[in-house]
Structure 1
Amino acid sequence: MLRISARQAGYRSLRRTSCLLRGSLPECQGASCETARDIAIPQKRLSYTTVPQSYAQLNRREARYRDTENFLAALQQRSTIRETLRKWELDNPQVGEFAVAASLPPGDLPNNIFKSQALGSMREARQMGDAEDGEFAVEEPDFADGAISAPTDHLRPGTLIELRLSDSRIPLLGIILGRFHGVYYFITNGGQLAADEGIPSVLFSVADFATPAEMQSLVDFIPKDRFVHPHEVVHSYQPSIQLCAPLQNKINRFYAEANLFHQNNMTALSAANKMLSHPTEFSTMSLHQITHTLLPNKADREGSYDPAMLYAVHIALMNDEANSFRPLNKIHAARHVSYLYRISPASSTRIIYKVRTQVREILEALGTKGKSGEKSTFANNSLWRFILKARRVIRESRARRAWTDHGTLVPHFDHYKTFQNWTKEDKEYIHFIELWVGSHVHRESILHGFGSSILRLTQMYQPAKQLNAATGWAFLQELGWIPSWELPTRHTSPLPGATVQSGGGYIRPSPGPFSESMREDIAANRRRDWGPLQAYCIDAPSTTLLDDAVSIERTDTPGEYWIHAHIADPAAFIDPKSRLADYAAIMSQDHFIPGYRCSMFPPDFYDEVVMNKFSLDKDRPCLTFSTKLNEEGEVLDVQVQPGTLQNITFLTPHDVDAFCLPIRVTPEPAGTSKLVVGPEQKYPAGVHRNMTRLSDLSGAEKEDLQTMHRLLTAVDAARLRRGAIPQSRSSRSIRVMFDGNGSPAPSRAEDASSWSGDPAIEVAFDERKDGTLVGMAMMLAGESAAKWCSRRQIPVPFHAQPGALRNPEGLRALGDQIRALTDSGAPVPMTLWQAFDREAGPTAQSVDPSPIIPQGLEMYAKVTSPLRRLADCIVTGRSTLPRRPPPSPAPTAPTPLPPLTLSRAQGARPWLYQALFRAWKFGEADLPPRFRFVVSKVYGSLLRGELDYMGFSALLRKPDMEGVSLMADVKDGDVFEVEICDVNVYSCHVFVRALRKA
């Protein structure tokens, strides 16, 4: 618990009071607002014409007042209760302080109008919905921005971090002291030792803020001989004031310096919205770029800014009233490194202020004149006209399909028409709702109050438990603005440079004629003609974009072979300074989630150029990464050379795996392993490539495959000896099928008012194949590419996992437990995998090579998908550069901002909850009547745990435990028998009710 003075809390509760107080407030359940009458006694306004009738009357009033004061003073002197309290205050030194917990359930919003701001423990501040089974793990490159370190740099001890807790707009500053027994320890600006098993959402950090010597006394205080639960740290392991004072003072001096700089530059910082916003489009800028734009004369000679200056700018951006600056690193699992901000266009900001004015007019009119005068009062209010039109549209929609209080509508499987006759002003108000529900606004944003007010004024959502963003999402569906199956993650986690097309894919402006972005083959005079060498392209028949192939070549030395990985080579033909290169750099990789795709290159570029020139086939260019091996799996040499394939055979993974068995196969988990909702699909005949059957291969070709498999198996064994962990986790797959014909993407009719019906959704756990021939060959190619570039000092983005290097002994101990279970055939508990993932940490990109301990790799660089990933394209292009190259050549244009992408698992997450909701609410699939709920996290009034069904997590609220257990008696690992009581499709949450404690 964090301690703050009562006076500070009082001041904070009065700051930034919402403008809604000027008029009557609706019951803003979604914004957790309270009206003034709920907390204060209304007072009559004094009329200037009201005067005392006589001086005698005034004297009598003053006399009564003095009598009252005397009576209260006498009562105070006689009160033993007050004496007892005074004695207690003397015995307890924490006078005038109180502690409050910060733990808002998912979807709840703080009351910033009347209630004091809450600051709670680090652990309870974590976003409970931000990580489910690792689904929000976003792999992003590691770049530093000036003096500011990256959250994955990797939050070393001594780093100063700023946290915005889930229910407070007040920042919390702390210094990372270290990680012991899986628990991170921090010293905060309040002088408290806080602890958490993970790093909460970090929005700002300063590397090397405190030296090891400055932290040593506190590090010595931390119990390091055993695991200490974070709650126990908060209540039982607090250092003395004298021990905390040096670092606490250093943090406060930093904050004071930033605050002073903020005040001295208030004029420039308050104009950030006007100076940085594009007139009509969203834009993205880093904190350093924003600071340079707002304060160009404040940089030092090297063009960098003092961390306190950058923090002052950050504070100004976060306090923007219209929420025009949204930190993308928080949206993307707090793993981005350059503190990027998505900046709303000026047109959106104008609409927000327009809505504020219109809502205020309506509420004030309703409060003063009542409904009887609404026709004449609201005739000139365009928002009111939109609300009346929205009512009619919603009634028409509900005549065909009902609304549910779960963030979506009742499923509907046929094409359906939507209302299109919206005026320009109507679309502005719809755009405001989009900003509210689809922009990942912070919890204290003014958008929540205005959005919930609009929903209440429609009078169509009285049964709703909360008029929150989930209800706003359903509101857009009922208006026909988005289909009922649209994914909110496409809007809340935007892709840079792409516009979401409702019910469709993504829209990106074309980079112009592709011929202007192409160049002659830079490796033309060095390409090796591979002639009769037999290469094998192993991919599904439906795959048309082919990145890689493998082959084997015998040497003159018995027992030694070359394993070749032939990779597509677009970097040799694309001008790195072209518009096409810039286009690819913005997206950084293909983005694909079931139903939607946004490619790194333009779609027509794939059709016109890639499929005819770069996708692997006979007489196509390639870049070959060659590794020389012996029978023991030892790497003897590596080579990289451009070439051209002449002899290529196409095989399916199924046939190859049947002939060359994977080393490890993890079967589907016991119990239900598939969830299917929606109508049956009639699949039309698809277009497939001509594939070679295994039976058609010659004896020599089969021997090639067997020899490659034997050598790669030896390489795998060598990695296991170096500490590699067998990946024996079953993977969850999602398929969506539209229009009853198995279409993987929605079809949009020529009539723009028509949507496809709800798709069929299939969620399944597939068996995990680890150690396949093609998988091991591609991993070997990445390791050889990294060695090649490292030895020649060629700058490429190396793959890194810095968290694993901090405690390799602890990681190996967890790995030994996993290997023991895997070797015995026993399943590995999810808790053990989660502990391993926490210890290993996220992956990142680095300019320096480093070991990848979980894979047993000396170093690694991704190279096998240059047609889909920018990093691979960079590595393949630079691999052919001479030793110690000058820094100017590059295969692709460097992006001005670090790339930011939405992971497939993160984007696809709503499909899981749509499927579960439809099965639970409408019986589209059989569900168990009861589930086993294993507690994984205990919060103040909420439990989070895992269900024994399809890998779903769930939340158990305190009221739903009544009669079963007390919240205070629950600990991690406890098991309950539960039933589902709510599924929210918008927020991706499952709520359960406890039936009994197992």
Structure 2
Amino acid sequence: MPPPIPGDSTGIRAKLRQWQEEHGKTLEEQYNKDMPMPEEMDSELTNTLTKMGDNNSIRSYREEEEDERQAVAHFAASRAEDLDDDITDPRFLLMGDLVELEFANSEKDSLLAVFVRKIGVESQFYSINGRWINAPERQVQYAIPGWVSPKLIEPLLEHLPNVADAEELSALKRESYVNDISVPRHVAAPLVSRMIAFHRESLEVYRKHASTLDRAHEILAHDTDLRYGSLVSAASALLGIPSDKLPLTALFTVRRALMNAGFAFNVDRRSHRVTGYLQIRPKQQVKTVEQVRKWLREWQDDNATMALMSASQRQRHTRKRGAFFVDNFLKQAREIVLASRQRREPTQHGNVGPSKVRHAITKDQDAVKVESDTRFGVPDQELVRFMEAWACNNMFLGLPRINALPPLILQATGLYEDHDLGAQTGFLFLQELGTILPYENRVRFDQHLLLPSSQHSRPLQQLMNKLLSMGKGYKFSDKMADVRHDWGELPVYCIDDASALEIDDGISVERANSADSNQPEWWVHVHIANPTAFFDRDNPLAKMARHMGETIYTPERAYMMLPRWATNKNFSLAPNRPCLTFSARMNENGEKLEHKITSGFIRNVQRLTPSELSTLLGQQDESKKAQFDITVGGAVPPQPERRSAVPDMKEVNINELKQLQKLAEGRTRQRKAAGGIFFDSRKPTLSVWQTAAHPGLAWQHPHRKGARSVEGDPVINMQTQGLTNWFAEGEQAQDILVREMMLLACEVSTAWCAERQIPTIYRGSVKKPGQRDPDEFYQSECVPAMERNNGVLPMHIGIEHVRNMGSLVLNTKPLRHNLLGLDHYGKVTSPLRRYGDMILHWQIEAALLKEAHSGTSLVTSGPTLSGKQPDHRFLPFSEENLQTIMTGLQPREAMITRAKSYAENFWVAMLMFRAHHFGEAKLPFDTCHAYIMSRPSPAQPKVMVMFEELSVTSSMMRPEKLGLGFPEARAGDRWECVIESVNVYYRHIALRPIRLADRWE
């Protein structure tokens, strides 16, 4: 059929125009009605997506939490949080959960499946295509808890392989190519039919909203600012459906659409399945990445074209714009890197070598000298940012098409031919450019840690700047002023290292009954800094605290939750400072008889270091004596000695400290009898020095405008006692005293709240899926092991016992904490550095004011006489608020714990890298020892061990794989080893076994 002539009313184009005239306007109006357009975003989506507050407008937490409340409902509803029900840990999958299996760094589509069970280190799933799959749980980034009853899955179990061994599993998979080893169709049909129906509903949702979902980033993203929201709020905004009425299929469909959008949306794969939180990257950032990708494609195409040209044709050829930018950057990068190699050697260990020029630290000279230039233009800077996003921030994870581009730049320099062209070499490249420092700790670049100084979020930087400017003359008002108790001259002992800048807590004691009583009793008071009485949860200080979660201490610097101008000048404990006091009346056995909480002022503050406390208690301080003291980079600068507080202590003070020690030892016995477990994993003490004045490094941000050279390296010192059995007796007196008094305050705080049915953040234990009974494990494994080990629990068995005590969760009602042996527990002793502690303080303060103003106690043993729950509208946080906060708080706390551990591991690796590979220090051992803490995974080529001499985690090659006749590695083994290599990028020391030194039989 010939094509219609232009203007012909019978052609297909004419018919499409006619359809658009009749129906298009109606659809467009409906679309605009349901979904705000980009120019309306600031007014329409502010209520559904949490945008970090900027310098001019900081939203109330109450608004944000109302927006997010529905986000957690979908995740929390199926995991009962009532004490009357079985409380579970949402981090674990349960039989019947519907999951989406993703395949990282692959273009393969995700797969619907149902979780069946845990087998060894992997999990077993049954997929929509009628096949069983064994895969790591980390491949599950979305789950619908309790989607089907376990009864629907149980018939499948007899047909599914229950194999944990990797070799047996591989053999089964090979067999499946020949024989059908799948579940019979008639058995799996009901389950597969449910999944197919779900999938079809999802496709229907997508078809209905395709135009919106395909433009999701355009609709949801801000032009320049990073947005942080939830899947529920995004789905509600995109589909125009109220958040409490979103079908599960709609949530699943929206999430899949967002994840298919590539770089535009980002999730933290460590916690997204539980939180549902996501980052919506700024339009400008996405545009920049696409622009760099375009340049690199043009550069590749141009190179391919030129490869087919003659010499004369190449001379006449005009390079494409993107190809010119890339070539220009590569030319400059080669010059900079070659110049850098005159000062520092590149290595295969994830870092440049130490500086060939050294600077000794003196009073007038730093250990390092930094010089930089500004030779890069805007395109060069964009290419540097692209490399930084790949090698430092890991922003291209799961995006193989983008991930494949940075290695092309490394290859094109011609300077890394003997290197693996992965992110580790990209990091090395950035060090040689000078973009990042030669001793940069990449923990700070974690895009999900989102430190205010990380330059990931402009609004966050604006909020930080606002807080810094607030320090100039900001006036605080004490809401608890009318109810504060003056503690007068009661001595308050603050026990902390001399270098501590913020003092959170102090302890005091006074007799509770007559001095000549046959049954003496004491009031023990734990006084805690009280910042929350001076600002509410909507204050910019509180907003930053909520974002940070807690202060992050690393050897090179501290990333503060609250600015130092607020803590040091106003809230850190000192004479005449406010406090919140948690008090317990105790008998001489350490039993708690009564408790109370009081707002007050302390006047008589006595600061002590742990070693000074040991001296006053008449005990030798062994806690800080290092078995090994290793330094690279020169000598540690001498520090002025702090005047000792010991001579100022009177006999009455010493007697009070001894009484506190006795009560603490009694508390230890009480908790031990209640099932508490005690262990001490003493870590190395690390310090990093750039100047003589104090430890730590100066602030240096990435330099993207050109080259930067760094002469010299910081001094690194590590003091370690070496590995000792964590479960052996030998705790120091000061450790027991401080630990037990802090735990006492934590117990009092939550017991006090529980009596009043106040919802707050309680912490406790819940059973893990497949967990052995702790009592049965203790009797069958721990007791015989202790009998064979002189009454001491072997470390590898102790670690397994701790894991058997359950997982720790946050809850709005009390939970027993099995590990501590406490019926009530919540963190309350560090409100200057932990946001969760601040929440407890706010709740308690509101209750104290309510009781003071009403003259009536809020204590209740159950529902009120009317059968209703107590009226808690006076509290700053409702139970729903807390559920929302806890959904993100626990993953945040876990992330910070990892970050601090990674930071310490980095500096250990840097020290050992410089000592082992560059001979900067003679190690005090020729061979070392590796202790295998837990059962090795059969699928892994290496074994995780403790490097005994340093007391740090390392890896050891599997002895049985070396072909030297070594036996198979087992938990409890001690192997004599040598250091094989030290990788700074991965913060990792690799050991090679040479002899089995000891085996636990």
Contact 2:774 2:805 in 1 (8 A): no
Q: Which residue of 2 is the match for residue 496 of structure 1?
A: 450
- Which residue does 2:983 correspond to in 1? 984
Judged with a 3 Å threshold, the aligned counterparts in structure 2 of structure 1 residues 972 and 532 are, in CA distance, closer, same or farther, namely closer
Give the CA deviation at 1:648. Answer: 2.1
**Within the alignment, does 1:320 sit opposite 2:272 as a pair?**
no
Shift of 1:830: 5.1
Q: Tell whether the 8 Å contact from 1:156 to 1:207 is kept in structure 2 after alignment.
A: yes
Residues 1:616 and 2:560 aligned together: no
Q: Which amino acid aligns with 1:361?
A: E
Contact 2:617–2:658, Cα closer than 8 Å, also in 1: yes
Q: Does 1:431 align with 2:408?
A: no
The answer as to 2:896 corresponding to 1:902 is: yes
Helix, strand or coil at the partner of 1:623? strand
Give 1:716's match in structure 2, choosing from 659, 663, 668: 668
Amino acid in the other structure paired with 1:584:
A
> If the length of structure 2 is used for normalisation, what is the TM-score?
0.74
Provide the rounded CA distance (Å) in 2 between the counterparts of 1:491 and 1:579. 24
Q: Specify the code of the residue in structure 2 equivalent to 1:577.
A: D
TM-score normalised to structure 1 length:
0.75
Residue 155 of structure 1 aligns with which residue? 92
State the match for 1:262 in structure 2.
206
How far 1:201 moved relative to its partner?
Answer: 5.5
Aligned to 2:774: 810
Give the SS at the match of 2:337. helix
Contact 1:574/1:891, CA 8 A, preserved across alignment: no
User: Is the 1:448–1:469 Cα contact (8 Å) retained in structure 2?
Assistant: no
Say yes or no: does 1:843 pair with 2:836: no
Of the structure 1 ranges 858-867 and 274-283, higher mean CA displacement relative to structure 2 is found in 274-283
Aligned to 1:774: 738
Residue 808 of structure 1 deviates from its aligned partner by 7.3
Secondary structure of 1:478's counterpart equals: helix
C-alpha separation between the residues in 2 aligned to 1:717 and 1:454? Answer: 63
Give 1:447's match in structure 2, choosing from 402, 405, 422. 402
Letter in 2 for 1:553: E
Name the CA shift for 1:145/1:716 in 2 (closer, same or farther; >3 Å). Answer: same
Q: CA deviation at 1:780?
A: 0.5
- Report the CA distance between 1:276 and its aligned residue: 2.9
**Percent sequence identity over aligned pairs:** 24
1:146–1:288 contact (8 Å) kept in structure 2? no
Aligned to 2:465: 509
1:457 corresponds in structure 2 to 412
Give the letter aligned to residue 683 of structure 2.
S
> Which of 723, 727, 730 is matched with 2:682 structurally?
730
Aligned-pair distance for 1:718? 1.2
Aligned residue type for 2:541? L
Q: Indicate which of 465, 469, 472 corresponds to 2:426.
A: 472
User: In the alignment, residue 786 of structure 1 is paired with which amino acid?
Assistant: T
C-alpha distance in 2 between matches for 1:201 and 1:811: 33
Question: Amino acid of the residue matched to residue 266 of structure 2?
Answer: R
From 165, 171, 176, the equivalent of 2:110 is: 171
- Aligned partners of 1:355 and 1:383 also within 8 Å: no
- C-alpha distance 499-728 of structure 1, shift in aligned 2 (>3 A): closer
Distance 1:859 1:944 in 2: 38
- Residue of structure 2 equivalent to 1:677: 632
Alpha carbons 1:193, 1:234 under 8 Å: kept: no
Stretch of structure 1 that moved more, 443-452 or 521-530:
443-452
Q: Indicate conservation of the 8 Å contact 1:675/1:764, yes or no.
A: yes
Cα drift, residue 775 of structure 1: 1.4
Distance 1:175 1:721, change over 3 A: farther
**How far is the alpha carbon of 1:431 from its aligned partner?**
0.7
Contact conserved, 1:415 with 1:757, CA < 8 A, in 2?
yes
Residue 843 of structure 1 aligns to a residue whose secondary structure is: strand
- Secondary structure of the residue aligned to 1:772 is helix
Aligned to 1:692: 645
User: RMSD of the alignment, in Å?
Assistant: 4.2
Q: Which moved more, 1:797-806 or 1:954-963?
A: 954-963
Question: What is the alpha-carbon distance in structure 2 between the residues aligned to residue 989 and residue 997 of structure 1?
Answer: 22
From 822, 828, 837, the counterpart of 1:857: 822
Gaps of 5+ in 1: 1-140
- Return closer, same or farther for 1:143/1:489 CA change in 2, 3 Å cut-off: farther
Write the letter of the residue equivalent to 1:289.
S
CA-to-partner distance for each residue in 1:149-172, whole Å, 9 max, x for gaps? 589424252433444355645435
Residues of 1 paired with 2:196 and 2:208: CA distance? Answer: 18
Judging changes above 3 Å, is the alpha-carbon distance between structure 1 residues 483 and 787 closer, same or farther for their aligned structure 2 residues?
A: same
* 1:526 aligned onto 2:526: no
Matching residue of 1:415: 369
CA drift at 1:483? 0.3
Task: Give yes or no for contact 1:815–1:836 (8 Å, CA) kept in 2.
Answer: no
Q: Distance in 1 between matches of 2:273 and 2:671?
A: 30
Alignment of 1:352-363 (within 5 A): 352-363=289-300
Cα pair 1:518 1:573 within 8 Å, conserved: no
Q: In the aligned structure 2, how far is the partner of 1:632 from the partner of 1:721?
A: 12
Deviation of 1:433 after TM superposition, in Å, equals 0.7
Give the match for residue 146 of structure 1.
73
> Matched residues in 2 for 1:747 and 1:721: separation?
49
Q: Cα offset for 1:742?
A: 5.6
**SS of the residue 2:465 aligns to:** coil
Q: Deviations over 1:180-206 (max 9, x none)?
A: 99986654545566668x853542222
Counterpart Cα distance in 2 of 1:652 and 1:817: 39
CA distance in 2, matches of 1:798, 1:567: 18
Deviation per residue, 1:126-182 (Å, 9 max, x gap): xxxxxxxxxxxxxxx999723125894242524334443556454355444456999
Equivalent residue in structure 2 for 1:886, among 848, 872, 877: 872
Are 2:945 and 1:946 aligned? yes
**Residue deviations 1:899-918 (CA, integer Å, cap 9, x gap):** 43533113433223222322
Describe the shift of the 1:262–1:991 C-alpha distance in structure 2 as closer, same or farther (beyond 3 A). Answer: farther
Note the alpha carbon deviations across 1:458-500, whole angstroms, 9 max, x for none.
Answer: 2221121x11111111111111111011112211344336232
Cα separation, partners in 2 of 1:957 and 1:816, compared to 1, 3 Å:
closer
Hey, what's the Cα distance between the residues in 1 that align with 2:532 and 2:944? 47
Equivalent pairs, count? 834
The yes-or-no answer on 1:211 pairing with 2:149 is yes
Note the C-alpha offset of 1:702: 1.8
Match of 2:654 among 702, 708, 717: 702
Q: Which residue of 750, 763, 768 corresponds with 1:786?
A: 750
In the alignment, is the contact (CA less than 8 A) between 1:964 and 1:996 conserved in 2? Answer: no
- Structure 1 letter corresponding to 2:437: P
CA distance in 2 between partners of 1:183 and 1:630 (Å): 50
Deviation at 1:263, TM superposition (A): 4.1
Once residues 447 and 457 of structure 1 are traced to their aligned partners in structure 2, the CA distance between those partners, rounded to angstroms, is 17
**Map of 1:569 onto structure 2:** 530
Q: Deviations over 1:238-290 (max 9, x none)?
A: 88435544444434443443344334433222222222333233332222222
Verify the 8 A CA contact 1:964 1:995 in the aligned structure 2: no
Matches of 1:665 and 1:165 in 2, distance apart?
51
After alignment, is 658-667 or 347-356 more displaced?
658-667
Shift in CA distance, 615/996, structure 1 to aligned 2, threshold 3 Å = closer
Cα distance in 2 for residues equivalent to 1:319 and 1:498: 29
Instruction: Please tell me whether the aligned partners of residues 975 and 997 of structure 1 are also in contact (alpha carbons under 8 angstroms).
Output: yes
* 1:340 alignment partner in structure 2: 277
C-alpha distance in 2 between matches for 1:784 and 1:335:
34
After the TM superposition, which of the residue ranges 273-282 and 854-863 deviates more from structure 2?
A: 273-282
Number of the residue aligned with 2:760: 796
In structure 2, how many angstroms separate the alpha carbons of the residues matched to 1:456 and 1:443?
22
Shift of 1:859: 1.5
Q: CA deviation at 1:627?
A: 1.0
Mapped to 2, the partners of 1:642 and 1:252 lie a distance apart of 60
Amino acid in the other structure paired with 1:876? H
- Is the alpha carbon distance of 1:656 and 1:947 closer, same or farther for their aligned partners in structure 2, counting shifts above 3 Å? closer
Residue type at the aligned position of 2:491: Q
Paired with 1:719 and 1:335, the residues of 2 have a C-alpha distance of: 36
Given the alignment, which residue of 545, 561, 564 partners 2:502? 545
CA contact (8 A) 1:518 1:574 kept: no
Residues 306/830 of structure 1: CA separation in 2 closer, same or farther (3 Å cut): farther
1:349 offset after TM fit, Å? Answer: 1.4
Q: What is aligned with 2:46?
A: none
